[in-house]
């Protein structure tokens, strides 16, 4: 039996086209030895397994499906095609967004360095508490800037990029002599707080 919509050849007892899913015209059909049997036009046949009669339909495309094809979906019964779950847009991060995150992180790291250098020159030196607050501010700005650059998308990778940007800012500040890293503990403390702040701006469940 050929489908009137796409002209695809289907099995004689198929109720729906295996290609396009349109309903086929059913009625009396010829079988061996010239006999005929009646096929109920109301019968449903799985669109992937035309020999299998069923009472189920996919809740998405409404094509008939058999128990072999059924996929339990959060919103009901689906065929395999309709059951393919897609990521929410917020969690769908393409390579382009990762590139934008890297670019924003580097720019903001250098911007944070520039601000602290200006403050150090203006105030003729910065105390540790001021540097700590400055690093926390850099962490916040980097996290917020990266988040805005990727349209508020979230992923572990974006968190890693933001954290790496803060580490870059810390290294640049150390090279500039604004903070003395030889003390060890205080520098690591300032860096840890800054990383925590920037990662918290890109929340990931």
The tens digit of pLDDT for each residue in 164-191 reads: 999 998 888 888 776 654 446 777 888 8
pLDDT for the residue numbered 86: 58
> Which of 2-6, 109-113, 162-166, 183-187 shows the lowest per-residue confidence on average (mean pLDDT)?
183-187
Q: For the chain, give every domain's residue range.
A: 1-85, 89-200
Q: Tell me the residue length of the chain.
A: 205
State which H helix or E strand residue 160 sits in. helix 156-175
> Which of 44-48, 151-155, 178-182 shows the lowest per-residue confidence on average (mean pLDDT)?
178-182
> Which of 77-81, 91-95, 116-120, 193-197 shows the lowest per-residue confidence on average (mean pLDDT)?
116-120
Whole-number Å distance between alpha carbons of 176 and 180: 10
- Neighbouring CB atoms inside 10 A of 160's CB total 14
Mean pLDDT of 74-89: 74
State which H helix or E strand residue 112 sits in. helix 95-123
Whole-number Å distance between alpha carbons of 34 and 40: 19
Mean pLDDT of 48-55: 85
Flag whether pLDDT at 123 surpasses 80. no
pLDDT for the residue numbered 188: 81
Comparing CA positions, the residue from 13, 1, 2, 5 lying closest to residue 64 is 13
- With a pLDDT cut of 70, the percent of the chain lying above it is 73
pLDDT for the residue numbered 107: 95
Name the pTM for this structure. 0.56
């Amino acid at each position: 039996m050929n489908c009137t919509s796409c002209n695809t050849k289907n099995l004689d007892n198929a109720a729906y086209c295996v290609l396009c899913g349109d309903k086929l015209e059913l009625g009396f059909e010829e079988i061996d030895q010239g006999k005929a049997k009646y096929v109920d036009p109301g019968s449903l046949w799985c669109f992937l397994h035309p020999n299998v009669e069923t009472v189920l339909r996919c809740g998405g495309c409404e094509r008939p499906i058999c128990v072999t094809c059924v996929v339990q979906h959060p919103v009901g019964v689906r065929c395999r095609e309709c059951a393919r779950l897609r990521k929410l847009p917020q969690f769908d991060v393409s390579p382009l967004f990762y590139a934008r995150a890297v670019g924003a992180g580097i720019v903001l790291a250098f911007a944070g360095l520039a601000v602290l250098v200006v403050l150090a020159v203006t105030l003729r030196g910065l105390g540790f508490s001021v540097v700590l607050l400055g690093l926390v501010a850099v962490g916040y700005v980097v996290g917020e800037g990266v988040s805005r650059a990727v349209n508020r998308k979230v992923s572990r990778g974006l968190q890693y990029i933001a954290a790496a940007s803060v580490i870059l800012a810390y290294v640049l500040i150390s090279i500039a002599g604004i903070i003395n890293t030889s003390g060890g503990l205080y520098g690591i403390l300032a860096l840890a707080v800054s990383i925590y702040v920037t990662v918290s701006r890109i929340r990931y469940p």
